[in-house]
Amino acid sequence: MRQAGPRPSKPWDVGDGCLAATVGENGQVISVHRVHPRWGWVHLSGLPPFDEGARFDPEAVRAYRRLWEDPRAPGLQLQPRGCSLVGRSWRDGAAPEFVYRGAGVEARCTVFASHGRLYLWLRARPSDPGGPDHLTLEFRVRWGLCRAAYGQITEGGPLPPADCTNRLKWTQGALVWEAPGLPAWGWLYPVPRVVEGPLQGLPPLEVCWREGMRLDGGGADRVLVVGVADRPCGGATVPLQDPEGALSRFLAGRRWETSRPRARGLRWFVRRQLLFVLDACSARVGDATCLMTDPVVLPLSWNRDAYYMACLLGAAGRMEGALAARARNTLAGHLRWLFRVARRPSGWWGRSHLAGGAVKDGVFQLDQQWYPVLEAARAALDWGLEEAWREHGHDALRVARALLACRHENGLWASSETPADDPLQLPYHFSSHVLAWRTLRLLGRLDPSGPWDREAIRLREAVLRFFTTPRGTFAYATDGHHHLQYHDANDLPLACAAGWGFVSADDPVWRRTLEFAWSPQNAGYFPGSYGGLGSTHAPGPWTLGDLQDLVVGGCTGDRARLRRAWRRLAQVAFDDGLLCESYDPQTGRPRTRAWFAWPGAAAAALLLGDCL
């Protein structure tokens, strides 16, 4: 079953791992984003700041997110006068490109990034011998500088309010935005003098102008450059002299130089997920790299989400070519971020962190402590980065020993929240313990003289004893006496339990748990024409639930289940191939989070043979 009507649309993403941008369907650049040392993430965008008075209102948070998800949102717009926009497409699968046509003329505008700058390259050419020799370009810029809003459904620790008053001026051929209260700067160049005196106010601020282009000699080009930084641009406004060469280098570095997966459509899916992770969701912090599942609306790093993105980087890094090398380097940078940059003021990682490493939400979640250790172990054992274990193995083992030392006497760990960031009704969470078991098993291979294999055996015995319910299923959570019957799309370790070896694929308790999970008896299951496993955190089927369907189908050899899960992901994907968080169970249309990298990244990793 396909959705009625065209595929859902969202702003498309482009970047280079230093800077990221979103591009709308009308040829406009909606936003440009970059790391900030104090606020984590700042953006130059056409959207207003979030109303801090609505910080704890979930509906207001969702409404603000929808503004960003609108592909018609305002921003920086170039429009050749007398031309109509024909459409938006991908140049070589990596750079958004817009085509305009008018009487006797065609123009193409390609958006790409390089060395922390965003480039808009417009080429206008006569389309027939009698075409015009002159073209007018109309520019409309509606932008302002703000810090990221970080609007959360379950707020875990709001940042202090920021003064986002903007000043906009023209200087040395550039439009310059300044937000002294952040501080942050943005610039657009080369631009004629279109502002006589500074403009000041709350963002966004708007400027419009026109320019003429002569089309004799085969046509004309116009290049705009955008930058964002936490310091003044100084002499950085140097025009791009060779846009064609810069674009060629951008595209060459993003080619997928392998025949895996064999199906062309699946190769396209893998490449789209990988480019999204590398170009938009990766943020360089010195020699380290932060991974964010959402670089636009909620640009925070969760160790859980980042781990599954790292699975794609690790699997892709085993391939050949420049893109694979970049995946390896980004994975190595993320491990440095986890163990050197991300702060642990209480000795533990927080629920989430700002890109610069500061803790955003300090709530203790058990799985967030084990995922970095697992990532370091798999980097050495599965992804060919033995040097990463030499660099971070000591820290990873120290975290694991600290976790072993803080268990309850029953052999289990308490967690304050679920992996969906919701309060946990009973203290011990099942899938987090499966994750811990798997990590201990891998540590036993890397450090055979340590206690890891012995502790893994003890842990599995405790989990089976305390989480197995009288009805013969695994409980979602327990206090050692009572059981919570529930399953959530965020709990991938349950689906992975057979593939990881915690249980066999024909284990009756595991099988009954899965039957319950995909049934109306589970509050996390949502029936309908597009029904599926989701989460009460954001009611509706989740793409993470479809990912679990993929994992279970692979573990059990259920080809029909695999086909059904892949078909569902194809049905609900956006027009750029990316996946939302949740969708409507009746229509399949996206409901929440247009930017949600980790289900797509994990699915792509599975296609490349990774076991997650």
3-class secondary-structure state, position 267 = helix
Bond prior to 190 in cis (omega within 30° of 0): yes
Please report the domains of the chain, with CATH numbers, ordered by start residue.
12-239 (2.70.98), 264-607 (1.50.10.10)
Please determine, for residue 5, whether its predicted confidence score (pLDDT) is greater than 80: no
For residue 217, the 8-state DSSP code is: G
pLDDT number for residue 521: 98
Mean pLDDT (whole number) for 294-312: 98
For residue 296, name the pLDDT band (cuts at 50, 70, 90). Answer: very high
**Could you tell me which residues come within 8 angstroms of residue 53 by beta carbon, excluding any fewer than 6 positions away?**
none
The SS3 call for residue 86 is strand
| Alpha helix (H) residue ranges in 58-138 | 58-69
Q: What's this model's pTM, rounded to 2 decimal places?
A: 0.97
Which one-letter amino acid corresponds to residue 248? S
Q: What is the pLDDT of residue 1?
A: 39
pLDDT for 237: 63
Dump pLDDT digits (tens) for 567-600: 999 999 999 999 999 999 999 999 999 999 999 9
What end-to-end distance do the CA atoms of the chain give, in Å? Answer: 29
Would you state the pLDDT for residue 303?
99
428 beta partners: 414, 478
Report the amino acid identity of residue 195.
Answer: V
Q: Which two three-digit tokens encode residue 504?
A: 């066999």
Rounded Cα distance between 55 and 432, Å, is 29
**Is the CB of residue 578 less than 8 Å from the CB of residue 272?**
yes
> What tens digit of pLDDT does each residue of 204-260 get?
999 999 999 998 777 899 999 999 999 987 555 667 778 999 999 999 999 998 889
Give, for 378, the enclosing helix (H) or strand (E).
helix 366-381
The CA-atom distances, in angstroms, between 371 and each of 355, 427, 434, 599 are: 17, 19, 12, 16
